[in-house]
Structure 1
Amino acid sequence: MSLDHDLGNDKRGTGYDVITWMERAVMERGLIPPIIKIHSANPVARRRMEAGIRSIENRYRNRNYR
């Protein structure tokens, strides 16, 4: 998945909102997360999104150990 932070209408959500949704879905529904590439030019949002992706990966990797 290629994801930008700015999706055109921040009131409806951002790329970071997509990442937080995926994080919850991994924990609550067993979502197998896709490979996520960020192509945002927003440096602050990029770092935040990268941290979210690391969290998704960690939660998915440790899902059987709760």
Structure 2
Amino acid sequence: MESLFFLVPVTLLLVGIAVAVFFWAMRSGQFDDLDSPAWRILHDDEANSSNPARPDDDQPRP
């Protein structure tokens, strides 16, 4: 029973911190665009196509 006097306030403090971090993330725009980062990885090859790798890159150089 004595441990509850310690654990309940600690739990309430941690929940309060979690709620504060969640609202901070909401205000700073962390959840504004959830779809674009997933699609961005598919379009990276177009930006790198102007600098193709040389075919002899995997050959050891003397």
- The normalised TM-score by structure 2 is 0.35
| Structure label with greater radius of gyration | 2
- The normalised TM-score by structure 1 is 0.33
Greater helix share, structure number: 2
